[in-house]
């Protein structure tokens, strides 16, 4: 399963380990994200979420209407759609640890 970080590239640097090998590093400034849209398998055939971050002064009208539909008044600079392969529904009892523990059955590979 892939993972991602949504943020702004800040600076690049380098570090050296104990053997003297150079390791390049990139610092990412992470800001708060806004959830603008959710697509579900029942309606669209796949599961995805659209996240937005950053502020901008002027945005185009279609993006402005999309943000207004989501109830967001802040004009966002970046909007990224992240599509997921699996979609699991987790009940409140399982998420917060209430009820008996459940262990998934072993699967054969």
Band the pLDDT of 81: cuts 50, 70, 90: confident
pLDDT digits (tens, 9 = 90+) for 26-46: 999 888 888 888 888 888 888
pLDDT for 98: 43
Quote the CA–CA distance of 64 and 67 in Å, as a whole number.
5
Say if residues 28 and 49 touch (Cβ distance below 8 Å). Answer: no
pLDDT tops 50 at residue 96: no
37 versus 97: the higher-pLDDT residue is: 37
Question: What pTM did the predictor assign?
Answer: 0.61
43 versus 101: the higher-pLDDT residue is: 43
Question: Among 82, 92, 59, 85, which residue's Cα sits nearest to residue 1?
Answer: 85
Neighbours of 76 (CB within 10 A): 21
pLDDT for 104: 54
pLDDT tops 70 at residue 106: no
User: What is the residue-wise DSSP string for 56-108?
Assistant: -S---HHHHHHHHHHT--SPEEEEEEEEES------HHHHHT-SS---PPP--
**25, two tokens:** 């590093």
pLDDT tops 70 at residue 69: yes
- φ/ψ of residue 93, rounded to 5: -65, -40
100 versus 39: the higher-pLDDT residue is: 39
């Amino acid at each position: 399963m892939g993972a991602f970080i949504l943020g702004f590239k800040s600076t690049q640097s380098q570090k050296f380990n104990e053997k003297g090998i150079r390791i390049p590093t990139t610092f990412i400034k992470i800001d708060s994200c806004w959830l603008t849209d959710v697509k579900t398998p029942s309606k669209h055939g796949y599961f995805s979420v659209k996240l937005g971050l950053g502020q901008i002064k002027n945005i185009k009208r279609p993006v402005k209407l999309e943000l207004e539909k989501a109830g967001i008044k802040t004009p966002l600079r970046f909007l990224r759609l992240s599509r997921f392969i699996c979609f699991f529904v987790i009940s409140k009892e399982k998420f917060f640890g209430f009820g008996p523990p459940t262990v998934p059955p072993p699967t054969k590979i």
